[in-house]
Structure 1
Amino acid sequence: MKDVVIPYDLPDQENHSFFFIDQRVDVRMEAKLHRHDAWELYYVLQGYGARTAGDTLQPFAAGDVVLIPPSMHHHWDYAPSSADKEGCIRYLMVAFRHTLVQRCMEVFPELRNGLTGVVFPTEALKFGVRSSRIVRQALHKMNGLNELERLCEMFRLLPVIFTASDYSFAGKPVRMERDVRRMQQIHAYVMAHYIHPISLDDMAAETGMNRSAFCSYFKRCKGMTFSQFVTQYRLNTACELLKHSQKSISEVCYLVGFNDLPHFIRVFRKNIGTSPSQYRKRLQQT
């Protein structure tokens, strides 16, 4: 695995309480696996790919809004084909230490009243339609504001992101550095090979473990079998293709590593709750 990289400096607490960036960067220059002691609120404007957050690997696409908790390893791996004509991806991001939240709650009763009783998440969260829309609007607005005006907008954002109910979990923290590295290695292997069959023997050899030890280790760390994980990743990727491309159902089937269309449809229906064609039709109606 490549060395851990910090993609930006956290705000100087003496002069700034949070960090805001509108980042448009060459897809090859985006940061690798990293962590920092700040909340990261991240909105994808241009690009798609696979996101590692703690122990979880998921596809992402333009429009996604995700909250990463402090100290969680994460990595936004953009697909080169998702860049714009100049080869760049783009995102808006706010990073802030938890001390900002604590101090604001101490000073401003209005904010304290809004966050009283809130249990701050330890897992990464992907926001749903309603909360994502509010966050996107706020971050776009911040782009045209000065520092003081951005701070006022942060006061509006904090209750939204910490009291939202429309979210899905996007990653649990991995406590051990050794597990972080091994899970990153497993994620990278799946990302590179999911189009083709992935055998347990190959995966065990990749991690330097025997088959039995690998199966036990993966089930302990992820709470699911390796086969279930690969199937989940393939289905998540299929959902993104159905949502963001015009490829046929059969093309999507083979692009995500299923070699039999009827089998793909059965597995998709069992796990997603609807057929691929119905899933796409439902998206087009929203």
Structure 2
Amino acid sequence: MEETIIPYELPNTENHSFFFVDVRISPEIEAKLHQHDAWELYYVIRGYGSRIAGDTVQPFSEGDVVLIPPNMLHRWEFVPGSADDNGVIHYLMVAFSHSLLLRCMEQFPELRNRMTDIKFPVDALKFGTESSRNFRKMLVQMNGMDELDRLCEMFRLLPAIFGSSDYVSVGKPIRIERDVRRMLQISTYVMCHYAHTISLDDIAAEVGMNRSAFCTYFKRSKGMTFSQFVSQYRLNTACEMLKHSQKQVSEICYIVGFNDLPHFIRVFTKAMGMPPLKYRKQFQ
């Protein structure tokens, strides 16, 4: 499995109580599968792709606002073609320790009164339309503030995050046992190589199994064949590109690894109930 890495740590608590960043980087240097001891509120400004959060792999889009709980394995895999003209993706992110929440509630009765009955989530959450709009506005405002004003804004943001009921779960925590590690390894490999042919021999070797054992294991674990899983991932990526880019259908077909346009259109139409161009028109 890819080495679990921590792409950042919370700043020295003598100087900062939480961590806020405005990130503009090339997609290939975005953090790999990782975890850290902090809540992470993440707002995607530019770019789209797929996200691993706990036990779930899902596509994400520009405008998404997601809360990742402490110590949950996660990864944001941006489609390279979703970068801007300078080749960078863009997001705002605020990270804060759970101990910060508890200390603030102890020291400030006004905050404690707002948060007394709140149950902190254990799942990763994607916020709905109204909450996302509010959090995007608050994060953009924080980005233009100095450190003291940003701290003041955090006192508004914290109860808003944990008091929101406008969300869906996008990942549950997992125990990192052998089978879970293996499935994460498979998902990560597909995320990195979906644009190219992935042979059963290659993926079986990646997880240290022979081809026959891998096929049996995967079907039992996921309820589908590995080929179906890869096709599903490629279709999800194609959907995001149809929604958020102006690339031709033929170009998208090859970018996501289908390599045969008529076959891509047939598979897409069967899965989505409509051909790619009609699907795109829904979002224009």
Q: TM-score, normalised by structure 1?
A: 0.80
Correspondence for 1:266:
270
Whole-Å separation in 2 of the counterparts to 1:154 and 1:224:
43
Within-5 A mapping of 1:1-286? 1-176=1-176, 178-179=178-179, 181-194=181-194, 203-210=203-210, 211=212, 215-216=216-217, 219-220=220-221, 224-226=223-225, 229-247=229-247, 256=256, 257=258, 259=263, 261-269=265-273, 279-284=279-284
1:96 deviates by 0.4
Which runs of 5 or more structure 2 residues have no equivalent in the other structure? none
Q: Which amino acid aligns with 1:75?
A: R
- The verdict on how the C-alpha distance between 1:97 and 1:192 changes in structure 2, with shifts beyond 3 A counting, is closer
Whole-Å separation in 2 of the counterparts to 1:119 and 1:157:
16
Asked if structure 2 preserves the Cα contact closer than 8 Å seen for 1:250 and 1:261, the reply is no
- The verdict on how the C-alpha distance between 1:73 and 1:261 changes in structure 2, with shifts beyond 3 A counting, is same
Residues 48-86 of structure 1 show CA distances to partners (whole Å, capped at 9, x for unaligned) of 333222232233333222111111122222333333343
Q: Which amino acid aligns with 2:159?
A: P
Asked if structure 1 preserves the Cα contact closer than 8 Å seen for 2:40 and 2:95, the reply is yes
- The verdict on how the C-alpha distance between 1:201 and 1:280 changes in structure 2, with shifts beyond 3 A counting, is same
Q: Output the aligned Cα RMSD.
A: 3.2
Residues 21-48 of structure 1 show CA distances to partners (whole Å, capped at 9, x for unaligned) of 1122343433222211000111122223
Q: Which amino acid aligns with 2:265?
A: L
1:137 deviates by 0.8
Whole-Å separation in 2 of the counterparts to 1:89 and 1:197:
26
Which runs of 5 or more structure 1 residues have no equivalent in the other structure? none
Whole-Å separation in 1 of the counterparts to 2:89 and 2:22:
11
1:8 deviates by 1.7
Whole-Å separation in 2 of the counterparts to 1:13 and 1:4:
24
1:15 deviates by 3.4
Aligned sequence identity (%): 60
Whole-Å separation in 2 of the counterparts to 1:278 and 1:159:
42
Q: Which amino acid aligns with 1:246?
A: Q
Residues 201-234 of structure 1 show CA distances to partners (whole Å, capped at 9, x for unaligned) of 76444422354565446755xx653556445423
- The verdict on how the C-alpha distance between 1:97 and 1:188 changes in structure 2, with shifts beyond 3 A counting, is same
Q: TM-score, normalised by structure 2?
A: 0.80
1:123 deviates by 1.9
Number of equivalenced pairs: 278
Whole-Å separation in 1 of the counterparts to 2:16 and 2:125:
25
State the SS of the aligned residue for 1:92: strand
